[in-house]
Structure 1
Amino acid sequence: MSLIPPPLSLYVHLPWCVRKCPYCDFNSHEGRGPLPFDAYVDALLADLDHDLPLVWGRTVQTVFFGGGTPSLFPAEAIDRFLQGASARLRFAPGAEITLETNPGTTEHGRFESYRAAGVNRLSFGIQSFDDGCLQRLGRIHDSGEAEAAVKLAQDAGFDNFNIDLMYALPGQSLAMAEHDLERAFALQPAHVSHYQLTLEPNTVFAARPPEGIPDEDAGWDMQEHCQALLAEAGYAQYEVSAYARPGRQCAHNLNYWRYGDYLGIGAGAHGKISLGHDDRILRRWKHKHPTRYLADAGTVAAIGGDDAIDPGRRPFEYMLNALRLVEGFRLRDFEARTGLPGHTIAPALEAGIARGWLARQDDRIVPTDEGRRLTNDLVSLFLEG
């Protein structure tokens, strides 16, 4: 089998935020004093120039500005980057361009400017519409500011936007989780990300867990109840924590989960590129700290590491992504994206089917409801040797 390069995305990491949330394990840094927006855009473009030889001739299907809090960056900086990137790379017509935004970091008038710069999708990090929950999460906004920010974006012409919500929050009941969804539905988002609070290593919450986190059974009740509410409201689940109206799935994240390729630029950004000419899959990441990144961007010194994914690891990597999707995967896609023949995973597939974790549907292998509940156990079937 030969490796066929899949669709290509561009991930851009903007690392600063107003205040680091106690549950956050992303590469984010509290901004102190004026932020170096112009210098950082220069660094991003230099970083992109350095990685371009990995993707000569390929078309970018999606762009995603993640953080940190990308909406801290003025629209002029986003515009300058997109103009520079589109001069270096071919962008697909109508490419999805997403900007993460947090209420409280976008003033009136900025959404129109983001839209003029080419951003056509927004992702609002709201997490909850309950002011008490927001305070316990360390968020800088309240529910009123969250609703106002979404409405400002709608006034600016955005109808393709996501609302991020978390459940099993400190002090949260089932009724409160339901109320969060009702408040979200009233704003008519195209997409809802709905995921459970987890205590990630190296976070404040992991070191000092807050009181009142619902137990495992209560969290499971919230998940099942909220999934039903989302379905009733017209949001179809297509991934473990992602729900969308018809045709409004996040194309960028779908490319991740289908084991697509992506350039990762910016401080701490990770990328994955298939190099079909020599059947290699390369993972590359950049140094995390913004100061070091600004000094080294565009040189080998900015690269935190390169990791070639050997064939033995590819089945596990592929399934770690694809089995998050309700749609599962097709065997021919596995072969194209990994460069491996389908028979290499036949024993693991049969084991998954025998345990009731996988099922065959026409030409697809899909995770069952039980398989989605036991994702870690399911994916572990594909570990090497």
Structure 2
Amino acid sequence: MSAVASVASSVSFLARRPQLKVLPPLALYIHVPWCVRKCPYCDFNSFEARGEIPEKRYIEALTRDLELALPEIWGRRVYSVFFGGGTPSLLSPEAVDAILSAVRARVPLDVHAEVTLEANPGTVEAAKFAGFRAAGVNRLSLGIQSFDDRMLQAIGRVHDGAQARRAVEMALATFENVNLDLMYALPGQELEDCRRDIETAAAYRPAHLSAYHLTIEPNTFFHRYPPRLPDEDTAAAMQEAVEEALAVRGYVHYETSAFAQSGRQCRHNLNYWRFGDYLGIGAGAHSKLTFPGRVVRSQRYKQPKAYLEQVARGVPIQEAHEVPAQALPFEFMMNALRLTAGFEPALFEERTGLPLTAVTQALDLAESKGLIVRDHRRVAPTPLGRRFLNDLLALFLEETTRPAPGRHVARPPSS
């Protein structure tokens, strides 16, 4: 087949409506938009709580939001629930219990569903852990970020190292499944500081650890007033130190920033990375839902006040769009190639409704550059591909936006 014919063949696949034979697994995301103080690096939809948060009204809004979404997910089982934020642990245990009760009454929640709640290590919040567990939360994710007081102050966290340690101890005494979130390449951080943080966290033997490279995102305080960060070589050395320290302790590095004891991978996030479906409720929450022949993304109103008002009017969704068929391959790869083990070739067609031949050229090029390995069983990023993930993903963005002769193909909205 000539190069022109190959391109034309790929584009003809991408121009088709996706033919999905089986709907992906469904997860539920619940967004709690308030926090004690907005961190200078945070670009999530979060707002400083000024006084008491409107807990009762927000529970009612979440319940109504879920009810309005039922026609889109009718009869589908929910396999995981994730309370994210913001700081969900600002809610009372009674509020979390009421929300989960509303969920169970309206959707088929799998009996083995993973139910995660994000929490920050303030002493008052840590005292709520037993209440969260009784409400049905079975996985706690603690936003530690660092155990070093200097680092915590540099990134604007409201807790100190001693509070972080107490929170970890209380979490492990209450929950069998605990994740600790850490960050590295922080302002003023040295390689030994990073090693000390990861070794401190690993010594607790949590089921799961997440280690994120601090990146400066638009619309953040740090973007307007950039701090001095470690140089690229030091940051790369920190990443290697994290990976080595956790590998020695038996943690599986299963995703770009995620490490788990055997069998303790985060099921909710795995569903994202395998291009599964998720319904997001709450202020600013995103959804990705699959229907026969189409995939739809939507977002709720972001401002809490506007969200509460719009839910009361019965229209919580601020914007929604059908994902163009030509954007689906890139969106799939953007998630699946974060996984160290990659994906089975059949999963691409199952989740996008398109044949893997739609991205043959990009796969060939990625393999020739040493960024992926593949056979009939699996397509997976190499260590080089994981390190230069953006370069790897760009190959799929280029293929899915490359026009056939005489035809224009629009760039996908995720570019």
Q: TM-score, normalised by structure 2?
A: 0.90
SS at match of 1:170: coil
1:351: how far off? 1.1
| Mapped contact 1:50–1:298 kept (Cα < 8 A) | no
- 1:39 corresponds to: 57
| Mapped contact 2:89–2:125 kept (Cα < 8 A) | no
Match of 1:68 among 86, 93, 112: 86
The structure-2 alpha-carbon separation of the partners of 1:242 and 1:108, relative to structure 1 and needing over 3 Å to count, comes to closer
SS at match of 2:227: coil
The structure-2 alpha-carbon separation of the partners of 1:129 and 1:136, relative to structure 1 and needing over 3 Å to count, comes to same
Give, in whole Å, the separation in 2 of the partners of 1:187 and 1:143: 14
| Mapped contact 1:124–1:162 kept (Cα < 8 A) | yes
Give, in whole Å, the separation in 2 of the partners of 1:322 and 1:362: 16
1:362: how far off? 5.0
Matched residue count: 381
Match of 1:349 among 363, 372, 386: 363
RMSD: 1.2
Deviation string, structure 1 residues 127-150 (Cα, Å, up to 9, x no partner): 000001001110000111011112
The structure-2 alpha-carbon separation of the partners of 1:105 and 1:32, relative to structure 1 and needing over 3 Å to count, comes to farther
- 1:189 corresponds to: 206
The structure-2 alpha-carbon separation of the partners of 1:126 and 1:382, relative to structure 1 and needing over 3 Å to count, comes to same
Give, in whole Å, the separation in 1 of the partners of 2:48 and 2:234: 33
The structure-2 alpha-carbon separation of the partners of 1:108 and 1:231, relative to structure 1 and needing over 3 Å to count, comes to closer
Whether 1:204 aligns to 2:199 is no
- 1:28 corresponds to: 46
| Mapped contact 1:71–1:105 kept (Cα < 8 A) | no
1:186: how far off? 2.1
Runs of 4 or more off by more than 6 Å in structure 1? Answer: none
Match of 2:168 among 128, 150, 155: 150
The structure-2 alpha-carbon separation of the partners of 1:84 and 1:362, relative to structure 1 and needing over 3 Å to count, comes to same
Match of 2:270 among 225, 250, 254: 254
1:203: how far off? 0.5
The 5 Å alignment of 1:53-202 reads 53-104=71-122, 106-107=124-125, 109-156=127-174, 158-202=175-219
SS at match of 2:41: coil
Structure 2: where are the runs of 5+ without partners? 1-17, 403-415
Look up the equivalent residue of 1:66 and give its one-letter code: G
- 1:363 corresponds to: 377
SS at match of 1:122: strand
1:109: how far off? 4.2
Give, in whole Å, the separation in 1 of the partners of 2:255 and 2:77: 25
Give, in whole Å, the separation in 1 of the partners of 2:125 and 2:54: 19
| Mapped contact 2:172–2:206 kept (Cα < 8 A) | no
1:298: how far off? 5.7
Look up the equivalent residue of 2:77 and give its one-letter code: T
SS at match of 2:52: coil
- 1:301 corresponds to: 315
Give, in whole Å, the separation in 1 of the partners of 2:240 and 2:376: 27
| Mapped contact 2:279–2:289 kept (Cα < 8 A) | yes
